[in-house]
Amino acid sequence: MNSVSDLLLVAIGGGAGALLRGGIDTLATRFGLAAPLATLSINLLGSFFAGLVAVLLIDRSLLPEAARPLLLIGLLGGFTTFSTFALQLARMSDAGEALPLLAYAAGSLLLGFAAAVAGIALGRAL
């Protein structure tokens, strides 16, 4: 990001993504969908749209460059950071970076889990 306008686009997109996620969470709760399934749905949708937008924006240049901070970083980042994780894994796969991909995926999952457990333990201890 190179400018204040890029940061504003991230903020606008991030707010919209967070509102969209909150709306889906609310609807899922009203329809009795378990929280993990709602989160899984959000992560899958975010990952799908991250891949779609990346191809349209980066690979094919069908979207203006200003759409990157708005859509990829802001909207989808506010909707789910999992979409960024999945897109990075897909790009690593495309580049043939098998070992870094496996290390990143395993490290993110295992260390993320460990960090959550540590946070829970600290929260309970306080």
pTM tops 0.95, yes or no: no
| Token output for 125 | 């201890």
Integer-rounded Cα radius of gyration of the chain? 17
Say what percent of the chain tops pLDDT 90. Answer: 45
- Kindly tell me the burial class for residue 56, based on how many C-beta atoms sit within 10 Å of its own C-beta (0-12, 13-18, 19 or more): middle
Q: How confident is the model at residue 1 (pLDDT cuts 50, 70, 90)?
A: low
| Mean pLDDT across 56-61 | 84
Say how far apart CA 1 and CA 11 lie, in whole Å: 12
| Mean pLDDT across 23-27 | 90
- Kindly tell me the burial class for residue 77, based on how many C-beta atoms sit within 10 Å of its own C-beta (0-12, 13-18, 19 or more): buried
pLDDT tens, position by position, 70-104:
998 999 989 987 877 888 899 999 999 999 999 99
| Mean pLDDT across 26-45 | 85
| Mean pLDDT across 114-122 | 88
